Structure 1
């Protein structure tokens, strides 16, 4: 397994609108995408794009708010009511190969491979197998570098 580009840091938040205000008004973010619902994953999502000097895509901050009472991030927010870092996401060129390699190393995959917020296949690796951090693995979106 070769480490790919970090695509985003996921932050669970109790209010996506309050988090957007924070990144815009306190952190000076100017490139904030429109929030959208991802009910199949139980979340509402908004991406904050960070700038770079190279013209390449910067790392994104993914704000995730529970979609409803069945959201998988509700447990996280119960323990962290103000929100906090939920996961880190790395890109791979081929999701099926990456999953096979993680499984061959004995890493626990959480659930099936599914389509994530970027419209590409993803899976999550258990934090106990990843130095304590829930890790999302995503196939590099077409057209990205």
Structure 2
């Protein structure tokens, strides 16, 4: 198994509006995928694109605000009221092979493989098995995602 590209850093936020304002005004973000709901997970999500030297998009920042009914991010924000880094997400070419490989390494996978915010399959690995960091593995997006 080969480490894939760092696709995004997930950041929990108590206020999507304030976070977007911060990334635009303080960090100079000019490319933002406007917020959208993941209704099945009770989350509001937006992506901030980070530019590279070539002008191409680099790693994204995924801003995540819990909506009524969410528990995981609500609990995270109860412990971290200002929000903060929630997870790292790496791309892998074959999500099924990646899952099998991590399972073979004895890593605990949290839940089933399911569609993520990018519309591609994802799964999460337990932080205790990943140097203390909640880690998302996503299948490398195909063209158009």
TM-score, normalisation: structure 1: 0.95
Aligned length: 144
- 2:42 corresponds in structure 1 to 42
Task: Name the one with the larger strand percent.
Answer: 2
Aligned to 2:53: 53
Structure-2-length-normalised TM-score: 0.95
Q: Distance in 1 between matches of 2:139 and 2:73?
A: 22
Shift of 1:43: 1.3
Q: Within 1, Cα distance between the matches of 2:41 and 2:4?
A: 24
CA deviations on 1:82-113 (whole Å, 9 max, x unpaired) are 00000000000010110010001100000010
Q: Which has the higher mean CA deviation after the structures are superposed, 49-58 or 92-101?
A: 49-58
Deviation, 1:55, is 4.3
Q: Which runs of 5+ in 1 are unaligned?
A: none
Aligned CA RMSD, in angstroms, stands at 1.2
Paired position in structure 1 for 2:92: 92
Unaligned runs of 5+ in 2: none
1-side partners of 2:5 and 2:70: how far apart? Answer: 31
Instruction: Report deviation, 1:54.
Output: 2.5
Alignment partner, residue 115 of structure 1: 115
